[in-house]
Amino acid sequence: MTDYRLSNHRGKVRIGILSVAHLHAAGYQANLRAVPGVELVGFSHENREEGRAFEQEFGARWFSTHQDLLAEGLDGVIVCAENARHHELVEIAAAAGCQILCEKPIEINLSDAEAMKTACEKNGVSFMTAFPMRFAASTRAVRQMIRNGDLGNVLGINGINHSENPMGHRAWFASKELAGGGAVMDHTVHLADLFRWCFATEIVEVYAEVDNLFARGKIGVDTAGLLLVTLANGVKASIDCSWSRPALYPRWGHLKMEVVGERGTVLMDSLAEYLTLYSKNASRNPSWIGFGTDPNQAMIQEFIDSITQKRQPLVGWNDGYQALRIALAAYESAQKKAPVRLRDFPGV
């Protein structure tokens, strides 16, 4: 049973960020500050140079150890460490009685992911997986069309999730030890989760081709993958995941779904609400200025609401766990050059 202990310090919900290794930490600190009644106590990061730089850029209080931040008496934490360190930080946050929002993928192997669940249950705290695209207006609209039967019987889905190669600004993404893999690990999980969420069913089979098309000889992890997945209801879907966007591309990446039904087809591009700016002073030329709603803000709001309302968050541990299983099954399939049934997949 979840305890949901609140610090009730000055009437605010006290939140900290454990590690700022993940690029989303920069956005999350702003998201937290935009929520009424929330106090961003600070962030912890063990690399002194990186910690000082983040502190100076965003004006957030830096703690040189995670234990020092947790000792401040927090209601919740956001884990933004390297993927392979999620288990470690979830363990200590759970022991401190903090509700947890954890970046995706939630870990790099299933045994550590399962240990995270055990730690949260033992300490009576909740676990939320950071799947912001569930909160995007476009994805919610597509889900409602599917649930309402507006498209008729769904024949198939084409999914795309592309971004830049992370080398240069977040090099750990290209370390198999720290990230667990490359583009497939990074970009499979969002679409896999949306497929599960839209149809309220599981993915039961994965076939994948994985390669290093966009940085061959420069990094040792995959930069491209194509997955064909089968849902338990028989729907077939693809996931085209890659680090294929060049540095001068005007926006960070793509998250798209083309849902083909007997009565209609819907095309969704969740990150396309932009204006294009051409400027000699722009860091990129052209650059895209977003004007749409921020799904990260809605996700952070849900995390805070789950704490103040003393309930489980809408996106839980199992959602992150199932998405991780699919990413790991893709690597297994590529190695075996054969489809992998999820019920037979050990995920180690």
- In whole angstroms, give the CA distance from residue 78 to residue 126: 12
Does residue 169 have a pLDDT over 90?
no
Q: Which residues of 235-251 are buried (b: 16+ CB within 10 A; e: fewer)?
A: bebbbbbbbbbeeebbb
Query: Cβ of 140: how many Cβ atoms within 10 Å?
Result: 16
Does residue 64 have a pLDDT over 50?
yes
Fold entry, domain 13-131+298-315: Rossmann fold (3.40.50)
Query: Cβ of 315: how many Cβ atoms within 10 Å?
Result: 24
Peptide bond into 313 cis (omega under 30): no
| Secondary structure percentages of the chain, helix, strand, coil, to 5 | 40, 25, 35
Q: In the chain, where are the structural domains located?
A: 13-131+298-315, 137-292+324-344
Q: What is the pLDDT of residue 1?
A: 43
The model's pTM:
0.91
Does residue 341 have a pLDDT over 90?
yes
- In whole angstroms, give the CA distance from residue 139 to residue 29: 24
Q: What is the pLDDT of residue 4?
A: 45
pLDDT band at 343 (very low <50, low <70, confident <90, very high): confident
Q: What pLDDT digit, counting tens, does each position of 280-301 carry?
A: 555 555 666 665 678 999 999 9
In sign, the C-alpha dihedral spanning 249, 275, 57, 74 is negative
Q: What is the pLDDT of residue 307?
A: 98
137-292+324-344 homologous superfamily: Dihydrodipicolinate Reductase; domain 2 (3.30.360.10)
- In whole angstroms, give the CA distance from residue 80 to residue 171: 15
**Where do the H-state alpha helices sit in the chain?**
24-33, 48-58, 66-70, 86-95, 110-123, 137-148, 176-179, 183-199, 295-308, 317-336
Give the residue from 190, 221, 225, 231 showing the smallest Cα distance to 208.
Answer: 225
Query: Cβ of 259: how many Cβ atoms within 10 Å?
Result: 24
What percent of the chain has a predicted confidence (pLDDT) above 70? 88
Does residue 302 have a pLDDT over 90?
yes
- In whole angstroms, give the CA distance from residue 165 to residue 283: 17
Q: What pLDDT digit, counting tens, does each position of 101-122 carry?
A: 999 999 999 999 999 999 999 9
What is the strand order of the sheet 265-269 is part of?
A: 265-269, 253-261, 154-164, 236-245, 224-231, 203-211, 340-341
Beta strands in 124-264 (DSSP E): 127-129, 154-164, 203-211, 224-231, 236-245, 253-261
Q: What is the pLDDT of residue 281?
A: 57
Q: HEC string of 22-36?
A: CCHHHHHHHHHHCCC
Q: What is the mean pLDDT of the chain?
A: 91
Please give the C-alpha separations between residue 166 and each of 66, 169, 272, in angstroms, as whole numbers. 25, 6, 20
